[in-house]
Amino acid sequence: MNEPIIELKHIKNYLGNSWVHNDLNLSVTRGEILAIVGGSGAGKSTLLRTMLMLQTPTAGTIKVFGQEITPNSTTALHYLHQHSGVLFQHNALFSSFTLLENVAFPLKEHTQLTQQTINQLALLKILAAGLTVEDANKYPAELSGGMQKRAALARAIALDPELLFLDEPTAGLDPQSAAAFDELVLNLQKTLELTIVMVTHDIDTLWQVTNRVAFLGEGRVLAIAPIAELVTINNPLLQAYFTGPRGRAIEKIYSGKKN
């Protein structure tokens, strides 16, 4: 449980005339659910893209599954992409593909399986994500926002990943759907023995789902701890984030409930 599955050292990212990340260090432990929080524009989505080398950092080193990842490390990169799944912030479903075709896509790209097997596996993932056989032939535009999140999740787990990245998975969902999605993520994490790195602004999710939370600010991980500990840290940026009117209300509900 204590073995790092992702190690970021001294990561710097210079984007749009400013340092989004400036000496960022972060280690993700195998089997944990780690959340990344921080204000809008703090560099959370950029950090997920960097971990997957979808974006090359300006400086610093990235190790995933014990191997250093660089734009030229083709074998390590291929292994990384074959063993991870991503739910992007805006779902990134192919609008001209049905749900089944969307979920089948990574299986087609990364395996030599027959079309029939691919369709069967894709259907299993659709059901595992809480959607139905009838949904499989629908196009993304025919799905509600919550169903699109589930569709993106089904695609993210298509290859039975070890590592799952979720960028704001409950954004835009009503509280009940968000809670149901959290439950789904927890169940999948247990049954598939996943390591999950998720970006979220959902304070309920932090308390219900995560093992640790990393707070991003000033281009770095300013603090990383279980949520109950993180909200007590004496730092003005953390306090502004967690003890604003919304954060404080939630903290009251959960205080004493979870360590």
Ligand X SMILES: Nc1ncnc2c1ncn2[C@@H]1O[C@H](COP(=O)(O)OP(=O)(O)OP(=O)(O)O)[C@@H](O)[C@H]1O
Residues in the site for ligand X, rule: CB under 6 A? 15-16, 20, 38, 40-46, 89
Q: Which does 42 bind (CB under 5 to 8 A by kind): Mg ion, ligand X, none?
A: ligand X
Reading phi first (left if > 0) and then psi (alpha if -120 to 50, else beta), residue 178 is in alpha
DSSP 53-103: TSS--SEEEEEETTEE--TT-HHHHHHHHHSEEEE-TT----TTS-HHHHH
Question: Which stretches of the chain bind Mg ion, using CB under 5 A?
Answer: 44-45, 89
Q: Is the separation of the CB atoms in 174 and 145 below 8 Å?
A: no
Which residues are CB-contacts of 12 (< 8 A; sequence separation ≥ 6)?
Answer: 19, 21, 22, 23, 24, 57, 58, 59, 60, 219
Q: Which does 46 bind (CB under 5 to 8 A by kind): ligand X, Mg ion, none?
A: ligand X
Quote the least distance from Cβ 110 to ligand X, whole Å: 26
Quote the least distance from Cβ 171 to Mg ion, whole Å: 9
Q: Which does 20 bind (CB under 5 to 8 A by kind): Mg ion, ligand X, none?
A: ligand X
Q: Which is nearer to Mg ion, 45 or 148 (CB)?
A: 45
Name the residue whose CB lies closest to Mg ion: 45
Residue 4 is classified by DSSP as: E
Q: Which is nearer to ligand X, 89 or 98 (CB)?
A: 89
Pairwise CA distance, residues 143 & 134, whole Å: 11
Place of tokens 């400013």: 18
Q: Which does 136 bind (CB under 5 to 8 A by kind): ligand X, Mg ion, none?
A: none
Quote the least distance from Cβ 44 to ligand X, whole Å: 4
Residue 35 is classified by DSSP as: E
Quote the least distance from Cβ 45 to Mg ion, whole Å: 3
Quote the least distance from Cβ 107 to Mg ion, whole Å: 27
Q: Which does 227 bind (CB under 5 to 8 A by kind): ligand X, Mg ion, none?
A: none
